[in-house]
């Protein structure tokens, strides 16, 4: 069973973390066919942390997890920190299929979407 784990940085401001949780909730509604399981994980400052989020997906029956870095640019977090957290879980469950998706900022059509937004 396929799972999506949306990974965000985490903020000291609770409302900001709730925004991410809300996004994941909306995505769950839109993507239920593709990803029957959707979880959110934070790199720091908010719960659940990334390993706990992946464990939640596994407990829900996930056998294939796609990790979506909800980050705008490929900074240290995307390049190093998130993959390291994911690796903790991969090492614990070697048979589990985990794949890292492209981070949001590198999504195809992203610039076009922003341009349309700014025009409106």
Where do contacts with a second copy occur on this chain (CB under 8 A)?
4, 8, 11-13, 15-17, 19-20, 23, 26-27, 30-31, 34-35, 66, 68, 70-76, 79, 101, 104-105, 107-115, 117-120
Smallest separation (angstroms) from a second copy to the CB of 15: 7
Instruction: Report d(CA 35, CA 61) in Å as an integer.
Output: 12
Q: Are 54 and 5 contacting, i.e. CB atoms less than 8 angstroms apart?
A: yes
- In a 10 Å sphere around its CB, with 0-12 CB exposed, 13-18 middle and 19+ buried, how is residue 3 labelled? buried
Residue 79 or 92: the one with the smaller Cβ distance to a second copy is 79
Task: Provide, rounded to whole angstroms, the least separation between the CB of residue 47 and a second copy.
Answer: 16
């Amino acid at each position: 069973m396929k799972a999506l784990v949306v990974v965000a940085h985490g903020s000291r401001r609770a409302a900001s973390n709730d925004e991410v949780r809300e996004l994941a909730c909306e995505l769950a509604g839109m993507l239920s066919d593709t990803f029957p399981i959707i979880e959110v994980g934070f790199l720091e400052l908010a719960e659940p942390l990334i390993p706990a989020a992946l464990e939640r997906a596994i407990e829900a029956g996930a056998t294939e997890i796609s990790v979506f870095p909800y980050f705008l640019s490929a900074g240290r977090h995307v390049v190093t920190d998130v993959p390291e957290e994911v690796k903790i879980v991969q090492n614990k469950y070697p048979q589990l299929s985990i794949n890292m998706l492209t981070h949001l900022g590198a999504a195809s059509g992203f610039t076009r979407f922003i341009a349309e937004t700014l025009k409106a």
